[in-house]
Amino acid sequence: MTEGAIGIDIGGTTTAIGIIDKSGEVLAERVIDTARHGDIEKFIAEIESRIDEEFRELEKKNIKPAIKGIGIGAPNGNYYKGTIEYAPNLTFKGVVPFVELMKKKFAYETIVLTNDANAAAIGEMIYGGAKHMKNFIVITLGTGLGSGLVVNGELVYGHDGFAGELGHVTVVRGGRMCPTGRRGSLETYASATGIKRTVFELLADSIEDSELRDISFNQLTSKMIYEAAVKGDPIALQAFDVTAKYLGEALADTVMHTSPEAIFLFGGLASAGDMIIKPTKEYMERDLLKIFQNKVQILPSKLEGAKAAFLGASALVWKEISN
C-alpha cells in the first residue's frame, strides 16, 4: 500500500490541500478560499470536508494511500506550539491553536505545523534541490519575504519556534514603513511588494520614460515589472537591480551567520530567474568575507510552482517521523 501524507498550505488568500505520496507525487488536490469564513472552526470544517472529497476521489480510482499524518505551513506558524500567532494577513486573529483544533477532527498521530517558509525549506530538502545538502536556506519572495534556515540537516526553529525571520532584518535605518510598525526591514525592499515600491520611487526620482508610468500602484504586479524588464524598460530593469542589491547585501550577512552551501529563491518574484538571481549573487559576493567568496550558490527552487507549498507542508510529516 502506498504511504502518503496530507499537506496544507495556508495563505492569506487561498489554502491549498493536497494528498501526496511519499515519492512526492500529488494524488489529489483542492484549493479553498482562506478568508471566506473568518471563523476558524468553519475554516477547519471546510478543510475536513475537502479532504473527505479527496479521499472519495481516490477511492473511485482504487487508490488507498496509508496516510501517515498532516503537515501544515502557515504564516507565523509556530512549530513547537502548533499555533498560528498574530498573522497579519489572516482573518484569524490572536493565537490560534491550529494543531489542537485539527486533532479534534483527525486521528493521525502526526499533525505538525510550521511557518510557510520553513515548510518550503523542508520541501526543498525532501523533494527539491537540497536533497543532499545539510546546510542551506530557502528565501520565499512573495507579498513579504520569508525564510527557512537549515543547519546540520535540521530546520532552525530557535528556542521559541520563531527563528528564520530574515524578512525583518533592518537594511535601511529609518527606511520604508513595514506593516509591523517598524522601518527599513528587508521585505519592504526585496519582495513582490518591495519591487513595486522601488518602481514607484524610481518613477518619482527619474524622468525616464517607462511603460510603468501608465499603471497605478494597486494595479502593478511584480509580473508586469518582470515583463517590462524583459522588453528593456529602464525603470523595470533598474528596479530589479535595486531589489537584488538589498537582497544580495542582506544575504551576505546571512552567509556570515550560518555559511550555507546554497540559497534557494522561491515564489513569485523568484520566477524572474536570472533577472533577479544573477545580480543578487553579484551583490552578495561583493560583501562577503574572503573565506566565503565563490562558495555559496544562489539557485531557483526546484519545487514545482503551484504545488510547491503543500508539497513542502506534506514533507513535514516525513521529517517529523524520521526524527
Sign of the dihedral through C-alpha 153, 131, 300, 13: negative
Closest CB to its own copies among residues 235, 252: 252
Q: x/- contact string, 163-182, with its own copies (CB under 8 A)?
A: xxxx-xxx---------x-x
Closest CB to its own copies among residues 231, 286: 286
Closest CB to its own copies among residues 281, 307: 281
Residue 311 CB neighbour total at 10 angstroms:
30
The residue whose grid cell reads 527557512 is 148
In the list 149, 195, 225, 284, the residue contacting its own copies (rule: CB under 8 A) is 149
- Binding residues among 283-312 for its own copies as defined by CB under 8 A: 287, 289-292, 295
In the list 21, 57, 253, 282, the residue contacting its own copies (rule: CB under 8 A) is 253
| Contact range with its own copies by CB under 8 A, out of 8-16, 19-27, 251-259, 311-319 | 251-259
Quote the CA–CA distance of 317 and 299 in Å, as a whole number: 25
Closest CB to its own copies among residues 76, 301: 76
In the list 46, 249, 285, 320, the residue contacting its own copies (rule: CB under 8 A) is 249
- Binding residues among 100-139 for its own copies as defined by CB under 8 A: 133-135
Q: Which of 123, 113, 124, 116 is nearest to 141 (CA)?
A: 116
Closest CB to its own copies among residues 54, 187: 187
| Contact range with its own copies by CB under 8 A, out of 99-107, 116-124, 202-210, 250-258 | 250-258
The residue whose grid cell reads 516525513 is 318
Residue 237 CB neighbour total at 10 angstroms:
18
Closest CB to its own copies among residues 24, 97: 97
Q: x/- contact string, 67-106, with its own copies (CB under 8 A)?
A: ---------x--------xx--------------------
Quote the CA–CA distance of 143 and 135 in Å, as a whole number: 26
State in angstroms the smallest separation of the CB of 145 from its own copies.
11
| Contact range with its own copies by CB under 8 A, out of 17-25, 161-169, 276-284, 307-315 | 161-169
In the list 60, 62, 159, 322, the residue contacting its own copies (rule: CB under 8 A) is 159
State in angstroms the smallest separation of the CB of 261 from its own copies.
4
Tell the burial category of 105 from Cβ atoms under 10 Å away from its Cβ (0-12, 13-18, 19+): middle
Q: Do 200 and 217 meet the contact criterion of CB atoms below 8 Å apart?
A: yes
Q: x/- contact string, 16-55, with its own copies (CB under 8 A)?
A: ----------------------------------------
| Residues binding its own copies (CB under 8 A) | 76, 85-86, 133-135, 149, 151-152, 154, 156-166, 168-170, 180, 182, 249, 252-254, 256-261, 287, 289-292, 295
